[in-house]
Amino acid sequence: MTIREVAKHAGVSVATVSAVINDNKYVSDELKHKVLQAIKELNYRPNRWAKSLATGKGYTIAYIVPDITNPIFSRITKGIQGVANEKNYSVILCSTNFDSPTRRRYVDWILEMRVDGVVFTGRHGRESLTEITRLQDAAIPVVTALAPSDVTDMDRVLLDDRESSRLAVRFLKESQCQRIAFVGVRQSTTSKERYRGYSDEIADYCPEQVAYGEDFTWDDGYQAAQQLTKNGALFDGVFAASDIMALGVIACLKEHGRDVPEDVQIMGFDNTYAQWSGQGFASMSIPAFEIGVKAAQMLFDRISEIEIPGMQELFMASLAVPRVRPSLNPNLNLNLKE
Amino acid sequence: MTIREVAKHAGVSVATVSAVINDNKYVSDELKHKVLQAIKELNYRPNRWAKSLATGKGYTIAYIVPDITNPIFSRITKGIQGVANEKNYSVILCSTNFDSPTRRRYVDWILEMRVDGVVFTGRHGRESLTEITRLQDAAIPVVTALAPSDVTDMDRVLLDDRESSRLAVRFLKESQCQRIAFVGVRQSTTSKERYRGYSDEIADYCPEQVAYGEDFTWDDGYQAAQQLTKNGALFDGVFAASDIMALGVIACLKEHGRDVPEDVQIMGFDNTYAQWSGQGFASMSIPAFEIGVKAAQMLFDRISEIEIPGMQELFMASLAVPRVRPSLNPNLNLNLKE
DNA sequence: GGACTGCAGCTAACCGGTTAGCCAGGAAAT
DNA sequence: ATTTCCTGGCTAACCGGTTAGCTGCAGTCC
Burial label, A45 (beta-carbon count in 10 A; 0-12, 13-18, 19+):
middle
At A14 the pLDDT is: 94
Is the pLDDT reported for residue A337 higher than 50?
A: no
Substitution target in A88, A93, A334 with the highest count of B β-carbons within 10 Å is A93
Tell me the average pLDDT across A120-140. Answer: 85
Tell me yes or no: is domain B161-285 CATH 3.40.50.2300.
yes
At B262 the pLDDT is: 85
| Contact criterion met (CB < 8 Å) for B53 and A58 | no
Is the pLDDT reported for residue B336 higher than 50?
A: no
Between CA A260 and CA A276 the distance in angstroms is 15
Tell me which residues of chain B, numbers 14 to 43, contact chain A at a CB-CB cutoff of 8 Å: none
Q: Are B84 and A83 in contact (CB under 8 A)?
A: no
The per-residue pLDDT of chain B, averaged, comes to: 89
At B335 the pLDDT is: 37
Between CA A246 and CA B281 the distance in angstroms is 18
Classify residue A318 by its DSSP letter. E
* Residue A55 pLDDT level (bands cut at 50, 70, 90): very high
Q: Which range, of A40-49, A188-197, B328-337, averages the lowest pLDDT?
A: B328-337
Per-residue model confidence as pLDDT tens digits over B100-143: 999 999 999 899 889 999 999 987 666 788 899 999 988 899 99
Q: Count the neighbouring beta carbons within 10 Å of the beta carbon of residue A56.
A: 11
Q: Are A129 and A151 in contact (CB under 8 A)?
A: yes
Burial label, A105 (beta-carbon count in 10 A; 0-12, 13-18, 19+):
middle
Is the pLDDT reported for residue B332 higher than 70?
A: no
Instruction: Considering all nucleic acid strands, name the nucleotide whose C1' atom is nearest to the C-alpha of residue B19.
Output: D18
At B323 the pLDDT is: 66
Burial B69-86 (b: 16+ CB within 10 A, else e): bbbbbbbbbbbbbbbbbe
Per-residue model confidence as pLDDT tens digits over B27-60: 999 999 999 999 999 999 999 999 999 999 988 9
Q: Are B262 and B286 in contact (CB under 8 A)?
A: no
Between CA B328 and CA B271 the distance in angstroms is 23
Residues whose CB falls within 8 Å of the CB of residue B239, separated by 6 or more in sequence, listed in order? B165, B168, B169, B172, B180, B181, B182, B183, B194, B198, B267, B269
Between CA A61 and CA A300 the distance in angstroms is 9
Is the pLDDT reported for residue B331 higher than 50?
A: no
Between CA A146 and CA A153 the distance in angstroms is 15
Tell me the average pLDDT across A52-71. Answer: 94
* Residue B337 pLDDT level (bands cut at 50, 70, 90): very low
Is the pLDDT reported for residue B152 higher than 90?
A: no
Is the pLDDT reported for residue B300 higher than 80?
A: yes
- In chain D, which nucleotides are within 7 Å of a protein Cβ? 7-12, 14-21
B336–chain A Cβ distance below 8 A for any pair: no
Q: Are B196 and B168 in contact (CB under 8 A)?
A: no
Cα A302 to chain centroid, rounded: 19
Per-residue model confidence as pLDDT tens digits over B25-34: 999 999 999 9
Tell me which residues of chain B, numbers 202 to 261, contact chain A at a CB-CB cutoff of 8 Å: 217-218, 222, 244, 247, 250-251, 254-255
Is the pLDDT reported for residue B63 higher than 90?
A: yes
Per-residue model confidence as pLDDT tens digits over B241-273: 999 999 999 999 998 988 888 889 999 999 999
Between CA A64 and CA A50 the distance in angstroms is 26
Every domain of chain B and the residues it spans: 3-46, 58-154+288-317, 161-285
Tell me yes or no: is domain B58-154+288-317 CATH 3.20.20.70.
no
Spell out which residues of chain A touch residue B137, defining contact as CB-CB under 8 Å: none
Tell me yes or no: is domain A57-154+288-316 CATH 3.40.50.2300.
yes
* Residue A124 pLDDT level (bands cut at 50, 70, 90): low
Per-residue model confidence as pLDDT tens digits over B10-19: 999 999 999 9
Q: A219 by DSSP, 3-state: which?
A: helix
Q: CA-CA distances (angstroms) from residue A329 to A78, A139, A186, A325, A326? A: 32, 55, 39, 6, 6
The per-residue pLDDT of chain A, averaged, comes to: 89
Between CA B78 and CA A68 the distance in angstroms is 7
Longest Cα–Cα distance of chain B, Å, equals 88
Is the pLDDT reported for residue B333 higher than 60?
A: no
Classify residue B331 by its DSSP letter. G
Q: CA-CA distances (angstroms) from residue B20 to B13, B32, B57? A: 11, 6, 19
Please name the residue of chain B whose CA is at the shortest distance from the CA of residue A73: B69
At A322 the pLDDT is: 82
Instruction: Calculate what percentage of chain A has a pLDDT beyond 90.
Output: 70
Q: Which amino acid is at B183?
A: V
Instruction: Considering all nucleic acid strands, name the nucleotide whose C1' atom is nearest to the C-alpha of residue B7.
Output: C10
Q: Count the neighbouring beta carbons within 10 Å of the beta carbon of residue A73.
A: 23
Is the pLDDT reported for residue B148 higher than 80?
A: no
Peptide bond before residue A326 is cis, with ω within 30 degrees of 0: no
Check if B58-154+288-317 and B161-285 are the same fold: yes
A277–chain B Cβ distance below 8 A for any pair: yes
At A333 the pLDDT is: 38
Q: What is the CATH number assigned to the segment(s) A3-46?
A: 1.10.260.40
Q: In this structure, are strands B209-213 and B265-267 parallel, antiparallel, or unpaired? A: unpaired
At B324 the pLDDT is: 58
Residue B159: beta bridge partners? B315
Instruction: Calculate what percentage of chain B has a pLDDT beyond 70.
Output: 94
List the B8 CA – D22 C1' distance (angstroms).
21
Is the pLDDT reported for residue A328 higher than 70?
A: no
